[in-house]
């Protein structure tokens, strides 16, 4: 009968293996979600979006994970170094303020009322998608 060492086989608890590589910007409380997934935004090694699934099946951003190499803290506020990170932080409803250690809190972006939709950005995206679909149909016919 072989003896197994329990300590080496167990999963390491989060935050116990050295210094983290990300700042976490929390937008909504975890309790409002039933499951989570992490999505790379703009390629590997960059910012990551922590999306949460609600009980009714809708998905929303629970937090952003910002690499420490692409941001810094200035008087308790998270400031982006790269254009991509600056863009993400500017779209939030408020400036990310430090809560503790590497955790920051910000408000989610404001809700656009249905009467103001489609927004100019939505119209541009629709036109772009229609053009893509038309080009695909033309290629298929040839």
Cα separation, 124 vs 130, whole angstroms: 10
Distance from C-alpha of 63 to C-alpha of 77, rounded to nearest angstrom? 16
Token digits of residue 50: 């922590």
Please check whether residue 141 lies inside any domain of the structure: no
Q: What residue spans of the chain are helical by DSSP H?
A: 6-9, 83-90, 120-141
Predicted pLDDT at 113: 87
State the residue range of the domain holding 57. 19-109
pTM over 0.75: no
Q: Is residue 138 part of a domain?
A: no
Confirm if 106 and 28 have CB atoms less than 8 A apart. no
Residue 19 has pLDDT above 70, yes or no: no
Is 102 a domain residue? yes
Which 8-state DSSP code applies to residue 107?
Answer: P
Residue 88 resides in a domain: yes
Closest CA to 31 of 8, 13, 55, 48: 55
Please check whether residue 64 lies inside any domain of the structure.
Answer: yes
Residue 94 lies in a domain: yes
| pLDDT tens figures, 68-111 | 999 999 999 999 999 999 999 999 999 999 999 899 999 998 88
The Cα–Cα gap between 12 and 140 comes to 52
pLDDT, mean over the chain: 88
Domain count, the chain: 1
Residue 120 placed within a domain: no
């Amino acid at each position: 009968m072989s003896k197994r060492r329990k300590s080496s086989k167990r999963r390491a608890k989060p935050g116990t293996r050295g210094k983290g590589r990300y700042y976490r910007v929390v937008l909504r409380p975890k309790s409002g979600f039933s499951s989570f997934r992490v999505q790379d935004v703009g390629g590997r090694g960059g910012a990551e979006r922590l999306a949460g699934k609600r009980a009714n099946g809708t998905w929303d951003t629970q937090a952003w994970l910002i690499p420490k190499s692409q941001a810094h803290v200035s008087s308790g506020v998270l400031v982006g170094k790269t254009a991509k990170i600056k863009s993400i932080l500017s779209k939030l409803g408020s400036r990310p303020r430090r809560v503790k250690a590497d955790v920051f809190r910000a408000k989610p972006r404001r809700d656009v009322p249905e009467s103001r939709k489609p927004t100019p950005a939505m119209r541009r995206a629709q036109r772009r998608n229609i053009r893509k679909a038309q080009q695909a149909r033309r290629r298929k016919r040839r």
